[in-house]
Amino acid sequence: MQSDDTQRKLELMQGTLDMLILRTLVLGPAHGHEIAKHIQRTTEDVLQVEHGSLYPALHRLERKGWVSAKWETPKGGKREFKYYRLTPAGKRQLTAEHSKWRRLVASIGRVMEPAKEG
């Protein structure tokens, strides 16, 4: 059984990954590998999303109705990929998560870099 601290850490990481996936899909439909590569590229290789985390997150987002998924074959391709798209509910969720993220970053910043006194 996990401690409360461990569960909170997992929730934060899960929520952050969800937010990054939703933000990536603002750019348009993408399959899992494209989503992972976009996050890796955009963060200059700081964040590397493993498939073992990515696909459970995508399935969770699909169950919540924040993304939709459809198997498609890209033009000129021979293999089908499951493409994920942001839904209107997903856009609303991303807006809410982005707002929470901004508050969190500002709060941490105030602790880490307090205004000079005097």
**pLDDT per residue as tens digits for the range 60-104:** 999 999 999 999 998 888 899 999 999 999 999 999 999 999 999
Of all residues in the chain, the percent with pLDDT exceeding 90 is: 66
* Domain tally, the chain: 1
Phi, psi of 68 (to 5 degrees): -115, 160
Residue 36 in any domain: the answer is yes
Q: Let me know if residue 118 belongs to a domain.
A: no
Name the nearest CA neighbour of 58 among 103, 10, 90, 27. Answer: 90
Provide the residue range defining the domain that includes 71: 21-112
User: Is there a domain that residue 13 lies in?
Assistant: no
Confirm whether 65 is domain-assigned.
yes
* Mean per-residue pLDDT over the chain, rounded: 87
Supply the pLDDT for residue 77. 83
Nearest CA among 82, 88, 29 for reference residue 59 = 82
